[in-house]
Structure 1
Amino acid sequence: MNVRYAGRSTLRDMTAYRGSESSNAEGDPPVAFDLSSNELFLPPLPTVLSVIEEGFTRLARYPDPTARALTGEIAGHLRVEADEVAVGPGSAGVLQQILLALCGEGDDVIYAWPGFDAYPLLVAMCGASSIHIPLTASGHHDLEAIRARVSARTKVVILCSPHNPTGTMIDDARLRSFLRSLPDHVVTVLDEAYVEFDRGGDPPGRSEVIREHGNTVLLRTFSKAYGLAGLRVGYAAGSRQIIATVRKAALPFGVTHLAERAAISSLHSAAELRDRLHAVSAAREELTAGLAALGLPVLPSRANFVWLPLTCAAEPLARAAAAAGVKVRACPGQGVRISVGGAAAHRLLLTALDRTDRANWS
Structure 2
Amino acid sequence: MSSEKKRGAYIRPDIESLPAYVPGARPPAGVTMTKLSSNENPAEPAPAVVETIHRVAEQINRYPDMNVTDLTETVAAHYGVEPANVALGNGSVALLSHALTALAIMGDEVVYPWRSFEAYPIIAQAAGATSVRIPLLEDFSHDLDAMAAAVTDKTRAVIVCNPNNPTGNVIDRDTLMAFIDKVPPTVAVFVDEAYQEYVADARYAFDLADLPRYPNVLVFRTFSKAYGLAGLRVGYCFGDARLISAVRTTSTPFGVNAIAQAAAMTALAEQDVMTSQVEEANAERERVVAKLRADGWDIPQTVANFFYLPIGEDAAQLAADGVAEGVLIRGYPGDGVRVTVGNRAENDRLVEFLGGYAPNSSTRR
Q: TM over 0.5: same fold?
A: yes
Q: Match of 2:135?
A: 134
Q: Are 2:7 and 1:3 aligned?
A: yes
CA distance in 2, matches of 1:143, 1:8: 33
Q: Match of 2:355?
A: 354
CA distance in 1, matches of 2:23, 2:325: 23
CA distances 1:170-202 after superposition (whole Å, capped 9, x unpaired): 12111111111111220001000000011389x
CA distance in 2, matches of 1:104, 1:21: 33
CA distance in 2, matches of 1:69, 1:204: 25
- Three-state SS of the structure 1 residue aligned to 2:199 is helix
Alignment of 1:79-90 (within 5 A): 79-90=80-91
CA distance in 2, matches of 1:25, 1:267: 33
Contact between 1:305 and 1:338, CA under 8 Å: does it hold in 2?
yes
1:11 partner amino acid: I
Shift of 1:31: 5.8
In structure 2, list runs of 5 or more residues that go unmatched.
none
Q: Match of 1:62?
A: 63
Q: Match of 2:214?
A: 213
Contact between 1:159 and 1:191, CA under 8 Å: does it hold in 2?
yes
Alignment of 1:260-271 (within 5 A): 260-271=261-272
Which residue of 14, 21, 24 corresponds with 2:18?
A: 14
Identity within the alignment, %: 37
Contact between 1:158 and 1:190, CA under 8 Å: does it hold in 2?
yes
CA distance in 2, matches of 1:159, 1:35: 24
CA distance 1:338–1:244, shift in 2 (3 Å): same
CA RMSD of aligned residues (A): 2.4
Shift of 1:250: 0.8
1:62 partner amino acid: Y
1:105 partner amino acid: M
Shift of 1:34: 1.4
CA distances 1:109-167 after superposition (whole Å, capped 9, x unpaired): 11111111111111111111111111111111110010111001100111010110111
2:76 partner amino acid: A
Alignment of 1:1-362 (within 5 A): 2-18=6-22, 23-24=27-28, 32-199=33-200, 206-356=207-357
Contact between 1:10 and 1:128, CA under 8 Å: does it hold in 2?
no
Moved more, 347-356 or 121-130: 347-356
CA distance in 2, matches of 1:346, 1:323: 17
CA distance 1:24–1:177, shift in 2 (3 Å): same
CA distances 1:256-283 after superposition (whole Å, capped 9, x unpaired): 1111111111121111211111111111
CA distance in 1, matches of 2:229, 2:313: 34
- Three-state SS of the structure 2 residue aligned to 1:58 is coil
Contact between 1:209 and 1:216, CA under 8 Å: does it hold in 2?
no
CA distance 1:139–1:19, shift in 2 (3 Å): closer
Aligned length: 358
CA distance in 2, matches of 1:320, 1:294: 19
Shift of 1:21: 6.2
Shift of 1:23: 4.1
CA distance in 2, matches of 1:221, 1:76: 16
Contact between 1:77 and 1:205, CA under 8 Å: does it hold in 2?
no
Shift of 1:88: 0.5
Contact between 2:24 and 2:330, CA under 8 Å: does it hold in 1?
no
- Three-state SS of the structure 1 residue aligned to 2:57 is helix
TM-score, normalised by the number of residues in structure 1:
0.92
Contact between 2:27 and 2:33, CA under 8 Å: does it hold in 1?
no
- Three-state SS of the structure 2 residue aligned to 1:199 is coil
Contact between 1:31 and 1:327, CA under 8 Å: does it hold in 2?
no
In structure 1, list runs of 5 or more residues that go unmatched.
none
